[in-house]
């Protein structure tokens, strides 16, 4: 038994079968002694790994965790997770495969055999089984009984024939989504979304549908039939909708900016109030930084493929570097009443979800307006450089 095993056991960590648990490069000070259970076949790797109180790893099968940050009572039942963050009560079923830039907030969950990368799920969002849901953000719902859900065997199509990944989709939004008051979104099983799209709160997309365009009407039902048969020169279809693609990507990055400010300013006292919370907070901010870097790098790569003989493609190629730099600028401070209310709730020991759902409506309105202004400020900066893109993004 290694010194790391001995250190964790001495702290009170439950290790069901120590000789089958692989510990490599972890810092014992980042592993809570309070109710942590490591089942046989668990592998913990990386100096930045954090395992908070009440976490249970490997209950259903072997699990590998590499440089991830786990909040309290997270359950990783069996699979692989790297450079990702899971907040309080998040749960992942057997066979999960989670890669960098993924952030699951409170009580978000996925069932068995789910693949995620650069994926952000706000509280309560639930994914079924046999799902690939990379490069997207989903919000909506108010509890574990009222949550946005993705049905089993769903795919978010995030790769194009030209090798681009400028395909991030927004299911819900950040300014309203973080307030945990919105109607859930439902994506029916054995379906898919061809990113990038945006889907409104309360939307239901019928099972078997392949969504290729936005759903902007709230509380709506969309059923998509099979596409018409067609054959054409593939080259003629490349990048015809480049302004729309760029607008969707910038909308996504602006949303990441808003969410990062929410984490940095509003969530901070809740993280500070829990054991290892500040380390988990660092991980969450790093995951959002990773997501931003990924999206901007994909846009920059896309710009190199533009045809300079086509006006709108040439404009994207010439301006994309300047546009990307806009998303590194500072954001305004959160409203004082929002910061005061959340700080007081955290100091009183109120959990994050309960605190946000307990905010007065005037505080909610002020917070939503603040986050909206962060996004709108990005469009104001983009407009002089790519006016057609900005017009599409504001719709």
Tell me what the mean pLDDT of segment 3-21 comes to.
93
pLDDT at 235: 59
The Cα 42–Cα 33 span in angstroms is 17
Give one DSSP letter per residue of 126-191, joined into a string. EE-SSEE--SEEE--EEETTEE-EE-SS-EEE---TTS-----EEES-STTGGGT-SPP-EE-SS-
Q: Check residue 78 and report its DSSP letter.
A: S
Q: Which of 35-44, 224-233, 345-354, 380-389 has the lowest mean pLDDT?
A: 224-233
pLDDT at 289 over 60: yes
The Cα 229–Cα 239 span in angstroms is 21
Q: Is 76 within 8 Å of 94 (Cβ atoms)?
A: no
Tell me what the mean pLDDT of segment 185-195 comes to.
97
Tell me what the mean pLDDT of segment 35-55 comes to.
98
User: What are the tens digits of pLDDT across the range 301-321?
Assistant: 999 999 999 999 999 999 999
Helices 277-303 and 311-326, interaxial angle, to 10°? 160
pLDDT at 237: 55
User: What are the tens digits of pLDDT across the range 18-27?
Assistant: 999 999 999 9
Tell me what the mean pLDDT of segment 31-60 comes to.
97
pLDDT at 234: 62
Instruction: Report the b/e string of 55-81 with b at 16+ CB within 10 A.
Output: bbbbebebbbbbbbbbbbbbbbbbbbb
Q: Check residue 59 and report its DSSP letter.
A: S
Q: Check residue 110 and report its DSSP letter.
A: E
pLDDT at 230: 78
CA atoms within 13 A on the CB side of 284: 29
CA atoms within 13 A on the CB side of 313: 12
pLDDT at 193 over 80: yes
Tell me what the mean pLDDT of segment 202-213 comes to.
97
User: What are the tens digits of pLDDT across the range 142-185?
Assistant: 999 999 999 999 999 998 888 888 999 999 999 999 999 999 99
- pTM of the shown model: 0.96
Mean pLDDT taken over the chain = 95
Q: How confident is the model at residue 137 (pLDDT cuts 50, 70, 90)?
A: very high
User: What are the tens digits of pLDDT across the range 229-277?
Assistant: 878 776 555 788 899 999 999 999 999 999 999 999 999 999 999 999 9
Give one DSSP letter per residue of 15-58, joined into a string. ESSGGG-EEES--GGGB-SSS-EE-TTEEEE-TT-EE-TT-EE-
pLDDT at 163: 83
Q: How confident is the model at residue 73 (pLDDT cuts 50, 70, 90)?
A: very high
User: What are the tens digits of pLDDT across the range 95-134?
Assistant: 999 999 999 999 999 999 999 999 999 999 999 999 999 9
């Amino acid at each position: 038994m290694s010194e790391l095993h001995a250190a964790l056991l001495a702290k009170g960590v439950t290790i069901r079968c120590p000789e089958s648990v692989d510990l490599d490069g972890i810092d014992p000070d980042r592993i809570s002694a309070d109710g942590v259970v490591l089942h046989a076949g668990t592998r913990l790797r990386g100096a930045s790994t954090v395992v908070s109180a009440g976490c249970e790893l490997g209950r259903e099968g072997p699990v590998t965790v590499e440089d991830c940050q786990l909040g309290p009572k997270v359950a990783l039942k069996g699979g692989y997770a790297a450079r990702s963050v899971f907040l309080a009560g998040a749960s992942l079923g057997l066979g999960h495969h989670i890669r960098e830039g993924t952030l699951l907030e409170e009580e978000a969950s996925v069932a068995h055999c789910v693949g995620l990368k650069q994926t952000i799920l706000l509280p309560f969002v639930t994914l079924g089984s046999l799902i690939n849901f990379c490069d997207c953000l989903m919000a909506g719902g108010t509890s574990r009984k009222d949550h946005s859900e993705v049905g089993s065997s769903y795919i978010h199509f995030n790769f194009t024939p030209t090798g681009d990944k400028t395909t991030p989709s927004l299911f819900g939004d950040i300014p309203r989504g973080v307030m945990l008051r919105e109607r859930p979104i439902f994506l029916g099983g054995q379906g898919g979304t061809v990113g990038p799209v945006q889907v409104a709160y309360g939307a239901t997309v019928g099972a078997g549908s392949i969504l290729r365009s936005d759903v902007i009407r709230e509380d709506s039902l969309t059923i998509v039939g099979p596409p018409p048969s067609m054959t054409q020169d593939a080259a003629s279809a490349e990048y015809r909708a480049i302004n729309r693609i760029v607008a969707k990507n910038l909308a996504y990055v602006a949303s990441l900016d808003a969410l990062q400010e929410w984490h940095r300013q509003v969530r901070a006292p809740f993280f500070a109030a829990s054991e290892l919370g500040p380390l988990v907070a660092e991980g969450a901010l790093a995951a959002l930084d990773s997501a931003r870097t990924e999206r901007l790098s994909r846009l920059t790569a896309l710009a190199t493929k533009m045809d300079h003989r086509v006006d709108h493609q040439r404009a994207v190629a010439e301006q994309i570097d300047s546009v990307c730099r806009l998303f590194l600028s500072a954001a305004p401070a959160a409203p004082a009443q929002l910061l005061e209310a959340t700080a007081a709730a955290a100091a009183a020991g109120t959990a994050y979800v309960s605190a946000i759902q307990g905010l007065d409506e005037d505080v909610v309105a002020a917070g939503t307006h603040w986050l909206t202004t962060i996004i709108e400020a990005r469009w104001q900066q983009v407009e002089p450089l790519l006016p057609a893109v900005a017009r599409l993004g504001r719709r």
